[in-house]
Structures are given as structure tokens and as C-alpha cells.
Amino acid sequence: MLNSSILNPKSIAIIGASNDITKPGGKVLKNLLFANFSKNIYPVNPKESIIQGLKCYNNISQLPET
């Protein structure tokens, strides 16, 4: 049985997030934003500061929640 935190997360970190929606990290983020995902979304990519309008984090240790 799947844990409820997997099916109903309080946040999602997208490792390898991208502004390029042809890349996997860009597609996942675009789809979450398009679907109006109501929880926190944290793009992670050390090469960017903003991705698809969201603050981007260099690594997961910088995220405000774990």
C-alpha cells in the first residue's frame, strides 16, 4: 500500500528543473504549474535563480522544508 505522503505531498522538489519545456525537468514543472498544483513547488538547479517564474534552489539542502 502506498503511503499517503506519496499520494498527497505537502511539497514537491523538481531536481533538474528547467526553463526548457522540452527537457524532462521543464515538462514536469510546466505540468504542475498548468494543473494549478496547490502545494509548494521547489525547482532545484544550480545554474538558474528563477525557473518558470519560481525561485530556484542550488541544491536540496537549501529548501525551506524537507
Domains and CATH numbers, the chain: 4-60 (3.40.50.720)
pLDDT of residue 56: 98
Chain segment 30-50, per-residue pLDDT in tens: 999 999 999 999 999 999 999
By CB atoms closer than 10 A (0-12, 13-18, 19+), residue 6 is exposed
pLDDT band at 6 (very low <50, low <70, confident <90, very high): confident
The Cα 20–Cα 9 span in angstroms is 25
DSSP reduced 3-state for 57? strand
What does the DSSP assignment read for 27-38? HHHHHHHHTT--
